[in-house]
Amino acid sequence: MSKKTAADHLSNVPMFSACSKKELAAIARSSDQLSVGDGHALTTQDESAREAFVIVSGKAVVKRNGRKVAELGPGDAVGELGLLDHGVRTATVVTDGPAEVLVIGPREFSALLQDVPSLSKKLLQHLAATVRELDAKSYG
């Protein structure tokens, strides 16, 4: 996949939706494409976070403490929380069939947050929405 095609895919990712074409191109340049097979662990719960992933094609299953909690598909991103706080993974994410993903390493992720202001804002909005959703599930 070319970097232009990667930028086109990134434009459909909610976390990157506020980014300009120039910013999407910068994000695409900062990522690597990876083709993975069925059952490939993108993240493993309680392990150190080393990268974030954007699913370009295929599906993945999210498990927490061995229990399925979500399914992901094209446009979904995982791993950004661990890159933000340098903490451990909160869930295991495993591909369900072959998949294409974009991988963003910690150094590239940090540079993007500094160079693409709209990404920082969108990421904060995404995390706030996640906290609100979890709060509603936990406390009604």
SS3 138: helix
Is 21 part of a structural domain of the chain? Answer: yes
From first to last of its 140 residues, the chain has per-residue pLDDT tens of: 565 677 877 888 877 777 888 888 888 888 999 999 999 999 999 999 999 999 999 999 999 999 999 999 998 889 988 888 888 999 999 999 999 999 999 999 888 888 887 788 888 887 888 788 877 878 87
Is 57 part of a structural domain of the chain? Answer: yes
Is 46 part of a structural domain of the chain? Answer: yes
pLDDT at 4: 63
Cβ pair 95, 36 in contact under 8 A: yes
CATH code for the domain in which residue 87 is found = 2.60.120.10
pLDDT at 51: 94
pLDDT at 62: 95
Is 39 part of a structural domain of the chain? Answer: yes
Task: Give the residue numbers spanning the domain of 41.
Answer: 3-133
Is 22 part of a structural domain of the chain? Answer: yes
Q: Which residues of 22-33 are buried (b: 16+ CB within 10 A; e: fewer)?
A: ebbbbbbebbeb
Distance CA 52, CA 17 (A): 17
Name the domain count of the chain. Answer: 1
Does the pTM of the predicted model rise above 0.75?
Answer: yes
Is 111 part of a structural domain of the chain? Answer: yes
pLDDT at 39: 97
Is 140 part of a structural domain of the chain? Answer: no
